[in-house]
Amino acid sequence: DADFQPDADFLRRTVPVLQADPSVALVQARWRFVNADECILTRIQEMSLDYHFSVEQEVGSACHGFFGFNGTAGVWRVQALADAGGWKDRTTVEDMDLAVRASMRGWRFVYAGDVQVRNELPSSFKAYRYQQHRWSCGPANLMRKMFWEIVASRQVSAWKKVHVLYGFFFVRKVVAHLVTFLFYCVVIPAYVLVGGQDVRLPKYVAMYVPAIITLLNAVCTPRSWHLLVFWILFENVMSMHRSKATIIGLVEASRANEWVVTEKLGSVTSSTPAATTTMATNKGATKKKKSQSSILAPEIVMGLCLLYCAVYDIVFGHDHFYVYLLMQSAAAFVIGFGYVGSQ
C-alpha cells in the first residue's frame, strides 16, 4: 500500500522462505507504526494490532494453521495466486478472500514477525470508522459467500475447515463483535433496569472474566497499559459500529460493498516546511468541515441511554454498575461530539 515503507532488504529476508519450501504461498511481515504516538486513537489502534500480530498471526503460523493475509507487507508465490483463482472483487476484503481460497487449496502461510514494515495508522475518527466498517463487514460477507465453497473443499482436512469457518470467521469475525456490544451496551444496562432478587448478573461474568481477557490482550503493548481503561471504553463504543457492519455483511445489505479509502495524513505528520504550509492553508477549511460533521448521533444516543441507566442504578441499584455506566456514557459522548483523534 502507498503508506507502507519496507526496508531495502525486505525481499532478501522474505523471498528465501518461498524458495526453501515449495508448499509456502505467502510470507507475511509485521506492521510497525510510525505515528503510534500521534494521539490516543493511534495508541489504542496500536494495542489492538499488536495483539493481532503478536498472537493471532504468530500462533497461526507456528501451528501451521490458517491466518489471514493482511493485504500488504507480504510476498506471494505467483503459482499460488494462479492456483487459487487470482484476485477477486466480490467483497471489500479481497486479500482475505485470496488467502482463504489459497488455504483451501492446501497452500501454507508463514508469518515473519522479525521483518517489520513501517506504515501509518488512521489518526482521524472518521477515517477509522470507515476502515472498521470495511474490516468488519467484509469478513462477514466473505463467510456468507464462501461457506459452501469451504465445506466442499477436498484438498484440506475437515479439522481445517472447522477452524476456518468456526474459529476464524464465526468466532473472531462475527461473534466477537456482537457479544461485546450486546454484553457491555445492552445486557448490563438492561440488568440495571430490571435487576432484582430474581435476576442476578454474577460478578465473575460481568467483571473478572472480561478483565482477564482484556489484560491478556494488552500484554503485547506494555507501554500503553496506563491507557487500558480508555481502550476498553473506546472498543465498547466501536463494537456498536462493528456489530452493525457485521450484520450488513451477513445479510448483504446496501453498504456491504461500500469502499471508502482510509485517509492518512502522510507527510503532514512530519515537521517539514511543506507539511506546515499545508496544515496552515487548510486550517480554515478543516474547522468548517469539523463543525459540520463532528457530531455523531448514534454515539450520543448511546451515551444518553447509558447515562439514564447509570442514574437509575444510583437511585435504585445495589451492584454499583453505575461506575462503569457513567464512564462508558462519558466515552460515548466524547466520541459523539468529535473529540477523538487528531483535529
- DSSP string over 49-109: HHHIIIIIIHHHHHTT------SSSEEE-HHHHHHHT----SSS-HHHHHHHHHHHTT-EE
Domain segments of the chain as ranges? 5-265+295-337
Q: What's this model's pTM, rounded to 2 decimal places?
A: 0.88
Measure the CA–CA gap between 36 and 47, rounded to whole angstroms: 10
Most confident segment among 192-196, 199-203, 286-290, 319-323: 319-323
Neighbours of 304 (CB within 10 A): 14
Summarize the confidence of residues 234-261 as an average pLDDT. Answer: 94
Q: How confident is the model at residue 287 (pLDDT cuts 50, 70, 90)?
A: low
Position 311 pLDDT exceeds 50: yes
- Calculate the average pLDDT of the chain: 89
Neighbours of 298 (CB within 10 A): 14
Position 93 pLDDT exceeds 50: yes
Q: Which CATH number fits domain 5-265+295-337: 3.90.550, 3.30.420, 1.20.58, 2.40.160?
A: 3.90.550
Summarize the confidence of residues 313-334 as an average pLDDT. Answer: 92
CA 278 to chain centre: 30
pLDDT of residue 32: 95
Cell of 69: 493475509
Interhelix angle 283-293/273-281, nearest 10 degrees: 50
Position 197 pLDDT exceeds 90: no
Query: Which secondary structure element, helix H or strand E, spans residue 119, and what is its range?
Result: strand 108-119
Name every residue whose Cβ is closer than 8 Å to that of residue 80 and which is 6 or more positions away in sequence.
25, 26, 102, 105, 107
In the three-class reduction of DSSP (H, G, I as helix; E, B as strand; rest coil), residue 257 is classed as: coil
Cell of 55: 498472537
